Amino acid sequence: MIPDTRRIEELSLNSSAPPGQLLYDGWVVRLLRGKAKRARSVNAVYQSTMPLVEKIPYCERLYEAAALPAIFRITPFSIPSDLDAVLEHRGYERFDTTAVEAMTIDPAKLDGAAAQPVELSSWCEAVGELRGSPIGHRSSHFARLDGMPLAKRAVAIKSQGRVLATGLTIIEGDCAGLFDIITHEDSRRQGHARTVVSSLLRLAHEQGARHAYLQVQQDNESARRLYAQFGFREKYLYWYRGRPGETG
């Protein structure tokens, strides 16, 4: 049986944990520079006791000291339940609504094509190239993944020494998360993403995973159609809140 939504949220948080983070009255405060907002946002996942009128400004000061925008990630499990409304009242804008999807892996339904396994540091560099990320973000990405005590398998599709597509699976118990499924803009609509997803699911199954989850922008219809063909279905949504001009 696919894990319940709260467990999927825990898996998602574990798979994006940065090398350093703070716990503040039940909130997980992440301050890692880089592209992934999950690694540089406040996640209100545990019981909260202090009033929001104190907690939110405290977090704002932490992010200001780290020269990062103050971003809050809102899920169905955020505590207290009125956090989203309070942030909106304080002028925080909602952005990047994301669907969390999950499925049970059926290896018999996976395509035969396979992407190439890639060493993690080289893979992070390739992802950075595809995203156009600065060097600092690439090194932060590698540091976060390399320090994670979970099984990881990175793959890529290459042609004439050039990386066309990438993907990563992070495995915890019998569940595998799929991340950074990226195709170069000049190589899209050629089946590369399908090959990457199929390869990651097969690798995860070989490592003992029986279920998989991923996160995809709610309005990314083409990607969601592809994932649906593998059996992924929406389980819940999350989004971010940031102040005007700080939603990147």
The 10s digit of each residue's pLDDT in 210-230 is: 999 999 999 999 999 999 999
224 vs 132 pLDDT, higher one: 224
Q: What is the mean pLDDT of residues 4-26?
A: 79
pLDDT exceeds cutoff 70 at 99: yes
Question: How far apart are alpha carbons 98 and 205 in whole angstroms?
Answer: 25
179-194 pLDDT tens trace: 999 999 887 888 899 9
pLDDT exceeds cutoff 80 at 44: yes
63-95 pLDDT tens trace: 999 999 999 999 999 999 999 999 999 999 999
pTM of the model: 0.88
Q: What is the mean pLDDT of residues 105-114?
A: 85
- pLDDT band per the 50, 70, 90 thresholds, residue 38: confident
Percent of the chain at pLDDT > 70 equals: 98
pLDDT reported for residue 128: 92
Question: How far apart are alpha carbons 20 and 194 in whole angstroms?
Answer: 34
Percent of the chain at pLDDT > 90 equals: 67
**Domain spans of the chain, in order of start:** 5-99+238-242, 106-209
Contacts of 137 (CB under 8 A, 6+ apart): 33, 34, 35, 128
- pLDDT band per the 50, 70, 90 thresholds, residue 1: confident
Alpha helices in the chain (DSSP H): 5-15, 52-65, 83-89, 120-131, 135-146, 192-206, 221-230
pLDDT exceeds cutoff 90 at 9: no
pLDDT reported for residue 19: 67
Mean pLDDT for all residues in the chain: 91
pLDDT exceeds cutoff 70 at 207: yes
pLDDT reported for residue 18: 65
What is the CATH architecture of 106-209? 3-Layer(aba) Sandwich (3.40)
- pLDDT band per the 50, 70, 90 thresholds, residue 56: very high
**Cα atoms found within 13 Å of the Cα of residue 19, Cβ hemisphere only:** 12
Classify burial at 234, counting beta carbons within 10 Å of its beta carbon; exposed 0-12, middle 13-18, buried 19 or more: middle
Angle at 193 between CA 34 and CA 210, to 5 degrees: 85
pLDDT exceeds cutoff 80 at 101: yes
pLDDT reported for residue 12: 80
pLDDT reported for residue 136: 82
